[in-house]
A and B are shown apart, each in its own frame.
Chain A
């Protein structure tokens, strides 16, 4: 016989109440942990995606849109800018590197990025098969693209208008796959990379009289690039460019200079993703608040259950005193029972949260990459552990105090 056995015996006597309170606590813990795991993983992914990129420059418009389009490939770009403006920026002494990107087409939902070899180098994407592109209309595939489309080296495919599926195809100008990238865990896995000239070529071919619907897949205004005087040779354009500073000093002056003095708009990925997270943080705060409510409800339920149990058990507690248990022992028995319940709810909740996070891809395919967060133990989870155990103790305080104060002789006599 020991305190644990005693606690189990009492738990076994009221399985429904126990199960209910444990389940309530488990749900609260699971919700709060799941939000934590997913938002941490998202935050880390957003930060990792933007690592090394100090600025995104593109057409004037929303800086957030620029970052979403240029770094996360999650939004359409605002429009195109002249290549000359980007080339001029690259010559700026505070700029170490500029990686231009031409967006506008896609293949089965995967974006085709016309860029320079430095793009793949920046993302540390090594070739798993084949080689890099050397001529226009040669493309290399991100690992997810290769997996999803089944394309291999040597295959040909035609891009389609716009960044979503369903645009018209550039059937006359097919790309040829020359390489496949190894997985990186970053956005490049879901991209098709090609030389920037390929994109220019496709567009020159497809739109002899102007850029109709490129860059405007979601009903945006068409690219503002006017036809050149000659009518056929338009000035070369890019959609946006990733910029790395030559020195941290650049952060103070360069963005402002770009915004004020050029046709470009500069957006800082760090700043914009932080801004995005504040907006999105309101949502997680709401869920977190709801989870706290569940935990409070479970504490209250535990409290009611223990108080009720104490009424039924006051003779048991009195006879335990008569058998030699001290007041402290009685309190310990109640406390351990409650903490035991809280601990099972906690454990169940943590397992549930990590399990749900690990399998999130099954019920939320878009969030599948976040499942990686399930493997890590976040330091904040210790806070959840402490919270749940404190909840268990809190629920016992009043019943334990009453048990401590119980008049044993009177209880035995009135029984």
Chain B
């Protein structure tokens, strides 16, 4: 599905991230492990073509991301990547169904209310389609965010700390849901997490070393 080679990313003079080589096959489910501040989110953003690494080659689904221009990166991302950010970031002005339809629209895909309905049903929030994000519980909102990530059937789904605010039962359910959805669409899944509860729930793991520069860690955890 993707391969990272010789990736290094620096913020100013400090190296925030180093990945010598990491390959993930089609439909594989991976844990991206690492302590807070080790660069997990940055790596997810690199895979989503939201961040261009300072050095190295990123090839996702046969596309060399380094060779894409700004607008092409946006278009590619819309079609190929589903992102579940840590804070979910559902669009508060839109109801649940419209949040999913927004994803279809921004990816340049035709409006497909049938897909939206069946997907909301399969993540168990069909009855909330007309609710606004502020009316949802954390667990419900996360289901919606997962649905939004897979609505366009991307080849790669990236989830950032999906269990951070969930108790054990919900954490397991969230992972199950994500895996089931990715399985259904054949997408590869990368879950970035420092949560020890997640490790046994995913078949494979890639661990980032702790950030070498202690100054950076202090800044991040402050």
Q: Contact partner of A326 among B74, B83, B85, B89, CB < 8 A?
A: B74
Q: Is the CB of B51 within 8 A of A409?
A: yes
Q: Is the CB of B85 within 8 A of A319?
A: yes
In Å, the complex CA distance between A226 and B144 comes to 101
Q: Which residues of A contact B71 (CB under 8 A)?
A: 326-328
CB within 8 Å for A13 and B93 given contacts A1-B104, A326-B75, A412-B50: yes
Interface presence of A325 (CB below 8 A): yes
Q: Contact partner of B79 among A318, A319, A324, A412, CB < 8 A?
A: A324
Interface presence of A329 (CB below 8 A): yes
Interface presence of A300 (CB below 8 A): no
Chain B window 13-30, contacts with chain A (Cβ cutoff 8 Å), 1 for yes, 0 for no: 000000000000000000
Interface presence of A413 (CB below 8 A): yes
Interface-forming stretch among B40-48, B168-176, B178-186, B194-202?
Answer: B40-48
Chain A residue, CB-CB nearest to B102: A1
In Å, the complex CA distance between A328 and B73 comes to 13
Q: Which residues of B contact A5 (CB under 8 A)?
A: 98
Chain A residue, CB-CB nearest to B73: A326
Q: Is the CB of B86 within 8 A of A6?
A: no
Nearest-CB distance from B52 to chain A (Å)? 10
Interface presence of A405 (CB below 8 A): no
In Å, the complex CA distance between A9 and B94 comes to 6
Q: Is the CB of A412 within 8 A of B45?
A: yes
Chain B window 95-119, contacts with chain A (Cβ cutoff 8 Å), 1 for yes, 0 for no: 0001001111111100100000000
Q: Is the CB of A1 within 8 A of B79?
A: no
Interface presence of A379 (CB below 8 A): no
Q: Is the CB of A1 within 8 A of B101?
A: yes
Nearest-CB distance from A91 to chain B (Å)? 83
In Å, the complex CA distance between A322 and B92 comes to 16
CB within 8 Å for A415 and B74 given contacts A1-B104, A6-B102, A329-B106: no
Q: Which residues of A contact B74 (CB under 8 A)?
A: 321, 324-327, 329
Q: Which residues of B contact A412 (CB under 8 A)?
A: 41, 45, 50, 83, 85, 87, 89
Nearest-CB distance from B95 to chain A (Å)? 9
Interface presence of B162 (CB below 8 A): no
Interface presence of B77 (CB below 8 A): yes
CB within 8 Å for A324 and B108 given contacts A13-B92, A413-B41: yes
Q: Which residues of B contact A10 (CB under 8 A)?
A: 93
Nearest-CB distance from B39 to chain A (Å)? 10
In Å, the complex CA distance between A1 and B42 comes to 30
Q: Which residues of A contact B136 (CB under 8 A)?
A: none
Nearest-CB distance from A346 to chain B (Å)? 24
Q: Is the CB of A413 within 8 A of B45?
A: yes
Q: Which residues of B contact A328 (CB under 8 A)?
A: 71
Interface presence of B91 (CB below 8 A): yes
Chain A residue, CB-CB nearest to B75: A324
CB within 8 Å for A324 and B92 given contacts A319-B85, A409-B45: no
Q: Which residues of B contact A35 (CB under 8 A)?
A: none
Interface presence of B203 (CB below 8 A): no
Interface presence of A320 (CB below 8 A): yes
CB within 8 Å for A319 and B41 given contacts A1-B98, A412-B50: no
CB within 8 Å for A415 and B51 given contacts A323-B78, A324-B75: no
Q: Is the CB of B89 within 8 A of A315?
A: yes
Chain A residue, CB-CB nearest to B97: A1
Chain B stretch 131-171: residues in CB contact (< 8 A) with chain A: 148
Q: Which residues of B contact A2 (CB under 8 A)?
A: 105
In Å, the complex CA distance between A168 and B75 comes to 89
Q: Is the CB of B50 within 8 A of A9?
A: no
Chain B residue, CB-CB nearest to A10: B93
Interface presence of A316 (CB below 8 A): yes
Q: Which residues of B contact A250 (CB under 8 A)?
A: none
In Å, the complex CA distance between A403 and B149 comes to 23
Nearest-CB distance from B35 to chain A (Å)? 16
Q: Is the CB of B93 within 8 A of A409?
A: no
In Å, the complex CA distance between A5 and B93 comes to 10
CB within 8 Å for A324 and B78 given contacts A1-B98, A6-B102, A412-B45: yes
CB within 8 Å for A409 and B102 given contacts A319-B89, A325-B78, A326-B70: no
In Å, the complex CA distance between A236 and B101 comes to 90
Q: Which residues of B contact A6 (CB under 8 A)?
A: 93-94, 102
In Å, the complex CA distance between A320 and B50 comes to 12
Nearest-CB distance from A100 to chain B (Å)? 75
Chain A window 393-415, contacts with chain B (Cβ cutoff 8 Å), 1 for yes, 0 for no: 00000000000000011001101
Q: Which residues of A contact B102 (CB under 8 A)?
A: 1, 6, 320, 323
Q: Is the CB of A327 within 8 A of B70?
A: yes
CB within 8 Å for A1 and B105 given contacts A322-B50, A323-B78, A413-B42: yes
In Å, the complex CA distance between A39 and B130 comes to 52
Chain A residue, CB-CB nearest to B86: A415
In Å, the complex CA distance between A319 and B45 comes to 12
Q: Is the CB of A409 within 8 A of B50?
A: yes
Nearest-CB distance from A262 to chain B (Å)? 79
In Å, the complex CA distance between A13 and B93 comes to 6
Q: Is the CB of B92 within 8 A of A325?
A: no
Which A residues have a C-beta under 8 Å from some C-beta of B? Answer: 1-2, 5-6, 9-10, 12-13, 315-316, 318-329, 408-409, 412-413, 415
Extra contacts, 11 of them, besides A409-B42, A409-B50 (Cβ < 8 A), are A315-B87, A315-B89, A319-B85, A319-B91, A322-B48, A323-B77, A324-B77, A327-B74, A412-B50, A413-B41, A415-B89
